[in-house]
């Protein structure tokens, strides 16, 4: 599975919430942009279908959340889900095998964190 965001700012926040801003500054990262070639294959999650509304709030991911996501990706190769980190933003989950040919690399560049976000100064 590939876990992506629809915009760079959300992608940065998603990585930072798991690894911290210092990890983004201390280790070289790449910022990738992909182009979806089959938009009709994108499934937008209806949050009313989420079994537990608390899954849409910040916190550690449970095994039940992972099973729910895995089940979605078994049916839909591309799934849009709201970001928990930034609730007005979206993440795109990609089942790499099932989505083969449905996306392509559009851009790759070195990522540079705004050092004001790093606690190491």
What the block records as the tokens of 29 is 């990262």
The DSSP bridge pattern shows strands 90-94 and 78-82 to be: antiparallel
Claim: this prediction has a pTM higher than 0.75? yes
Per the structure block, which two tokens stand in for 110?
A: 């070195």
Return d(Cα 116, Cα 121) in angstroms, integer.
8
Q: Cα–Cα distance between 22 and 93 in angstroms, integer?
A: 25
Q: What is the pLDDT of residues 10-34, one digit of tens each?
A: 999 999 998 999 989 998 999 999 9
Report pLDDT digits (tens) over 62-112.
999 999 999 999 999 999 999 999 889 999 999 999 999 999 999 999 999
Average of per-residue pLDDT across 50-64: 93
Q: Which of 13-17, 22-26, 46-50, 117-121 has the lowest mean pLDDT?
A: 117-121
- Given a cut of 90, whether residue 119 has pLDDT beyond it is no
């Amino acid at each position: 599975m590939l876990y992506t965001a629809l915009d760079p700012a959300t992608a940065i926040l998603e990585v930072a919430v798991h690894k911290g801003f210092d990890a983004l500054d201390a280790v070289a990262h790449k910022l990738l942009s992909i182009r979806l070639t089959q938009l009709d294959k994108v499934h937008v999650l209806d949050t009313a279908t989420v079994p537990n509304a608390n899954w849409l709030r910040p916190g550690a991911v449970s095994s039940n959340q992972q099973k729910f996501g895995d089940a979605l990706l078994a049916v839909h190769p591309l799934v849009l889900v709201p970001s928990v980190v930034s609730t007005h933003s979206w993440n795109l989950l990609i089942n790499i095998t099932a989505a083969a040919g449905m996306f392509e690399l559009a851009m790759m560049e070195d990522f540079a964190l705004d050092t004001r976000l790093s606690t190491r100064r």
